[in-house]
Amino acid sequence: MPAIRQIKIAPSILAADFANFGAECRAIEAQGADFVHVDVMDGHFVPNLTFGPAMCAALRPHIKGVMDVHLMIAPVDPFIEAYAKAGADIITAHVEAGPHIHRTLQAIANTGKVAGVALNPGTSAEAVADLLDMVGLVCVMTVNPGFGGQSFLSGQLSKIARLREMIGDRPIHLQVDGGVTVTTAPLAVRAGADVLVAGSAVFSGGSVADPARYGENIRALRTAAGAA
Ligand code: DX5
Ligand code: ZN
């Protein structure tokens, strides 16, 4: 019987109204979000561009809880300090972003923030085996990073299970990111995930003018995850 973990829902503001980010962050937290997931893209590591540190700093006063910054950028190291100063609580870098992920994770830890490491779908769990003592979060990408609204790659479930086994008793969140819906959330949780990133599944049908829908979407994900 797998241990019962408290599931955290982390809405990705990539699916929010880009003209209204402050209000969107307040709305999802008021509606039950645990983390606010901020997808940083550089048009180089991934084929899309999103937020810089100035945007994160501007969002910070609108987020009471955890600001979870997912860096899909290369290189990472020159920007760590800026995202730390912008108020990120968790800073996640990709294992594929450069030859020195160990140094990157050290640099994140030196800022006093929680270091996370993310794996693309083509990267095996073993790539992070020697990094687990340095991180507070492992993020398994269940889509190829760059865009919201893609379909969950169920071939990644065995990787989630493998990582849960590798993590053992360490206090490390196992996050799943991409294509999380009420259908796929229980699969990810059953495999061992405890943090569910969800963009489309949280924001669809709602708006800052109608935030109750965000709450319904978040509760639906929680209920589906709880049934795992
Ligand atoms: C993909 C991002 C994800 C994604 C989630 O590159 O890291 O956070 O936007 O969006 P959905 O839930 O729509 O797949
Ligand atoms: Zn993400």
Residues 6+ apart with CB under 8 A from 64: 29
Interval 166-203: pLDDT, tens: 999 999 999 999 999 999 999 999 999 999 999 999 99
Which pLDDT belongs to residue 227?
A: 83
pLDDT over 90 percentage in the chain: 97
| Closest atom, ligand 1, to C-alpha of 12 | 8
Predicted TM-score of the model (pTM): 0.97
Terminal Cα distance for the chain, rounded: 11
The environment of the single-atom ion ligand 2, i.e. residues with CB closer than 5 A, is 39, 70, 177
Give the ranges where the chain is alpha helix by DSSP (H): 21-30, 53-59, 80-85, 101-110, 157-167, 185-191, 200-203, 212-226
Confidence of residue 5 (pLDDT cuts 50, 70, 90): confident
Q: Which backbone phi and psi does 93 adopt, to 5 degrees? A: -115, 155
Interval 162-172: pLDDT, tens: 999 999 999 99
The answer to whether 69 and 45 have CB atoms below 8 angstroms apart is no
CA dihedral 137, 141, 77, 35 (to 10 degrees): -50
Q: Which residue has its alpha carbon closest to ligand 1 atom 4? A: 148
> Quick check: 2 pLDDT over 60?
no
What span, in angstroms and rounded, lies between the C-alpha atoms of 112 and 108?
7
